[in-house]
Chains A and B, each alone.
Chain A
Amino acid sequence: MKHTISVLVENEFGVLARVSGLFSGRGFNIESLSVAPTLEPDTSRMTIVTRGDDRVLEQITKQLNKLISTIKVVDFTDEEYVARELALIKVTAESESRAEVLRIVDIFRAKVVDVTARSYTVEMTGAPAKIDAVLQLLTPMGIKEVVRSGPVVIGRGAKGVTG
């Protein structure tokens, strides 16, 4: 099972290494991890996407909580959060495919942010599944390079991760 976990941590020396080391040292898997300071400069918030059965997830959340630098851990289930991811996609765009690429970009409300004679670079934000869909559609055109940020999530309504 895929899980999305938000972790609020002290924004201090080595904290990212503590979290990532916890996953690698215990053989847990990290699918994506994004981290940045919050409104309070002394805390950072991480979004971690991971996989595992219930027992593994229970250990992951407990072990994260056990870290001295951890302030709060929330394991979200599907309906409870809004997830957004940023992708930059450099796609081959030569004469005959240029129009098709633009059409796809348009449908998904993505944006072309760089143009050359042979390629477009597309910026796309959205739910991770949307980005998967765009990539699937652009693949036949020839994708040269993709970079994804991994999702960041925020709880719906009252469900929050404030310290």
Chain B
Amino acid sequence: MKLTGSQILLESLRLEGVDQVFGYPGGAVINIYDDLYDSQIHHILTRHEQAAVHAADGYARTTGKVGVVIATSGPGATNTVTGIATAYMDSIPMVIITGQVPTALIGNDAFQEADMCGITRPCTKHNFLVQDIRDLPRMIKEAFYIARTGRPGPVLIDLPKDIQVASMKFVYPEAVKMRGYKPTVEGNERQIGKAAQMILKAKRPVLYVGGGATLANVTPELLQLTELLQVPVTTTLMAMAAFPGNHSLSLGMLGMHGTYSANMAVTECDLLVAVGARFDDRVTGRIDAFASKAKIIQFDIDPTSIRKNVRVDLPVVGDLKSVLNSLLTQLKGYPQEVSDMVHNSVNWRADISGWKAKHPLRYTSSESVIKPQYVIEKLSELSAADAIITTEVGQHQMWTAQFFQFRQPRTFLTSGGLGTMGYGLPAALGAQVAFPKRQVIDISGDGSFQMNSQELATLVQYRLPVKIAILNNNYLGMVRQWQQLFFNKRYSQTCMELPIDFVKLAEAYGATGLRTDKVADVEGVITQALEIDGPVLMEFKVCREENVLPMVPAGKGIHEMVLAS
């Protein structure tokens, strides 16, 4: 039987196991939407294409599946770019299908034409322009394969309108054949053996865990490793939920707004074992002061991550699941050495306990004005153990990383690499679509919320009970903090003074709005919001000039922190 291009697309999605897509229609994808009308695939209509991509991203981060987006050509397609770049920086598996003008018009500045392959080349793992319907099934197969294997990432398929209506006999390829794409899965056993020996000799080791740990689902292996070796663990922003924050060996986050103990441990360690972490500049601070006393072992699936920013003494390329399991197997072959190592690092753990006790994360609490950190602590206390937390970007994001205790992997969704304001609400939407029964909370600033606040409509339309907590300081707080500290309090364009009635805004969309400026009401508002069976926006009027501390000023080593007084 012959199928049209758009039918082939939907049938291929089905064969890839896709039952949920996010998108926004238009002339160049109208055929796909027509076929979608009869299809079993669920579609969520967001109010902006950027939000559709973040929603698919949230869906992918919580489920581990490939997120799928459909957008029309031209402006619909260009609206996806920030979402795609966000997913690319955080290595999120995703397939984006954009409509394109008919092949005969490509290059003629046709109505709603944009060179999407050109525009997204630097922010996709790969992209395709379908020029012949006969290539379509193969390209879809390859797109999904590329998106979810190796270091995951977004893949875009630009699909011209004439190819959507053309037809041919459909056969979905069973396997991919790509000469140039063969990600390394198994790590080199000899290298892993060397890593084991280095670890067994260490007296002051630290595990430095990044977003790759979430992508590879290695929380159980990390727990085994830490328990076996009694090695302390610090996580990046991206990996906050990959290792339980309440574990006695957890140091919390490191880097610019990291904990004192994490930053000191990395500065003083003699062995740093990086697990799926890429040494972002927000983590390392001044490079030459970073882990300067340590040998560095780096486990990563992506060879380009190795030695990109820092010297590495021992690289192991491979899938973390396989690498960590063979490391564990090797280590277990040396029970005596393991117990010696644990014994030899007793003082190290004592040092770390000392640092933790000396400078825990703290803030000055207040009776009269709501401290943003307090709201986060309460959210952490009152939400379920499997609650999914998303954030926007700014101070509230850092406070969430510092004061929310994450308990399970894939429960913290944040734009780490690109730092995209407006990410959190649509990502929460996507997470709630994936898990309709779980609590999903977007922790937001007043600035970020306004970047995609129109998605309140989507929440209401699809009855998605996402809770939004706006920590309203009437400032673009994180930028204001920098202006306060480094620009002599010249608050250029960071004051958002306009009195927006967020409660009314929520109500205008048909959601519930709650507001408080009283410390005593914070718990009540959160409890009430969590009980309401629908989307709720909570507005907390918080202390306006609170700062995120500790902080490593730009250009300093991570041990040179400004601490909370």
Contacts and interface: CB of A to CB of B under 8 A. Distances in A.
B180 A13 contact: no
Nearest to A54: B307
Interface stretch (A61-69, A76-84, A91-99): A61-69
A18 B308 CA distance: 20
Contacts of B126: 68
A43 B146 CA distance: 20
Contacts of A58: 307
Interface stretch (B116-124, B254-262, B377-385, B459-467): B116-124
A62 B180 contact: no
Interface in B145-192: 146, 178-181
Interface in A42-89: 55, 58-59, 62-63, 65-71
A85 to B, nearest CB: 27
Given A58-B307, A62-B303, 10 more contacts: A14-B121, A25-B122, A59-B308, A62-B306, A65-B303, A66-B302, A68-B125, A68-B178, A70-B180, A71-B180
B180 A67 contact: yes
A163 B129 contact: no
A9 interface: yes
20 contacts: A13-B129, A13-B131, A14-B118, A14-B121, A14-B129, A17-B118, A17-B121, A18-B121, A25-B122, A62-B303, A62-B304, A62-B306, A65-B303, A67-B180, A68-B125, A68-B146, A68-B180, A69-B180, A71-B179, A71-B180
Contacts of B308: 59
Contacts, number: 40
Contacts of A142: none
Contacts of B181: 68
A10 interface: yes
A9 B180 contact: yes
Interface string A13-36: 110011001000100000000000
Contacts of B125: 68
A62 B315 CA distance: 14
B302 to A, nearest CB: 7
Contacts of A55: 307
Most buried by A among B118, B126, B179, B180: B180
Nearest to A67: B180
Interface of A: 9-10, 13-14, 17-18, 21, 25, 55, 58-59, 62-63, 65-71, 163
Cβ-closest 7 pairs across A and B: A68-B126, A62-B304, A71-B180, A70-B180, A25-B122, A71-B179, A68-B181
Nearest to B117: A14
Contacts of B304: 59, 62-63, 66
A10 B180 CA distance: 8
A21 to B, nearest CB: 5
Interface string B269-307: 000000000000000000000000000000000111011
A163 B182 CA distance: 14
Interface string B50-87: 00000000000000000000000000000000000000
Contacts of A71: 179-180
Given A13-B131, A71-B180, A21 B303 contact: no
Interface in B3-47: none
Interface in B84-137: 117-118, 121-122, 125-126, 129, 131
A21 B180 contact: no
A55 B307 CA distance: 8
Most buried by B among A13, A21, A65, A67: A13
